[in-house]
Amino acid sequence: MAAVPLLRWSVAASDPRMTVTFFQDLPVPEEPRPGRTVRYVPPAWAGAPAHELPAVVHVGQFLHRSRNFVLAVELAKVYSTGCSFNLTWTLRRAQEDDEAWAELNGAFFGHPHSMQPIDRRPFAALLLGVQLADGTKARADSTLHARYPPSTGKQPDPPALVLQNHGGNGGDDEMAGKGSLWLWPLPPPGDIRLVAQWAGLGMPETSITIDGGQLREAAAGAQKYWP
């Protein structure tokens, strides 16, 4: 059987005899210019102001400390409009089997774990609240993955309390996470009672006391980046 000849095409891009006219006769569409990115600016009640260096007040108190779970308030960053409490929490494995540890994983990170879905009980997640010296109260209804509120969101009656998750990590023997608790506006002088509960991790309601007057005084040390 005779071999079938192969058809080969070759174009020498540098060959001056090669001219392309079809596409040259058509206009080249301009690429649309990207729009300017609008920076998210949270409303004053929802987060710390941008472009401001806060004063720092050491807190260093445990909201909860057991043999396998710790929730602590490290410090307060005080701004001209409110203050942000830095929180940290760590859970270490005790005698839990894989199924029980998977359940704790789901409770810890605020979502059903892929291996072991959990029931969404209203008060099972991390709950945080505050009572000011004047008797007013606020609570942060926290799913740990809540989105930032829109800039046009309705301003609540003060005080407002917003929990913002800063992420975490976990493994087969320990899980750790961090977050911040924004309190708006600056508290009045007197004691602040900070209350927490995390039923999904076996943590009952507990509280610590922070000096609101100290926070108000520290606010004078907050500095704007650009006056």
The answer as to whether 25 is a domain residue is no
The answer as to whether 1 is a domain residue is no
| Whether the predicted model's global pTM rises above the 0.85 cut | no
Q: What pLDDT does 86 receive? A: 97
The answer as to whether 14 is a domain residue is no
Q: What is the pLDDT of residues 139-179, one digit of tens each?
A: 986 544 445 565 556 788 999 999 988 777 878 899 999 99
β-sheet bridge partners, residue 62: 72
Q: What pLDDT does 118 receive? A: 43
β-sheet bridge partners, residue 78: 55, 83
**Residue 158 and residue 45: Cα distance in Å, rounded?**
8
The answer as to whether 135 is a domain residue is yes
Residue 22 pLDDT exceeds 90? no
Which structure tokens are listed for 194?
């900070």
Task: Give 54's contacts (C-beta < 8 A, 6+ positions apart).
Answer: 48, 77, 78, 79, 83, 84, 222
Q: What is the pLDDT of residues 48-67, one digit of tens each?
A: 999 999 999 999 999 999 99
- Counting the structural domains of the chain, the total is 1
The answer as to whether 9 is a domain residue is no
Residue 35 pLDDT exceeds 60? yes
Q: Residue 148 belongs to a domain with what CATH number?
A: 2.60.40
Question: Between these two residues, 120 and 171, which has the higher pLDDT value?
Answer: 171
The answer as to whether 132 is a domain residue is yes
Q: What pLDDT does 29 receive? A: 78
Q: Determine which of 29-43, 69-83, 203-217 has the lowest per-residue pLDDT on average.
A: 29-43
The answer as to whether 176 is a domain residue is yes
Domain coverage including residue 91 = 53-224
The answer as to whether 128 is a domain residue is yes
Task: Give 88's contacts (C-beta < 8 A, 6+ positions apart).
Answer: 70, 71, 72, 74, 176, 177, 178
By CB neighbour count within 10 A (0-12 exposed, 13-18 middle, 19+ buried), where does 84 fall?
buried
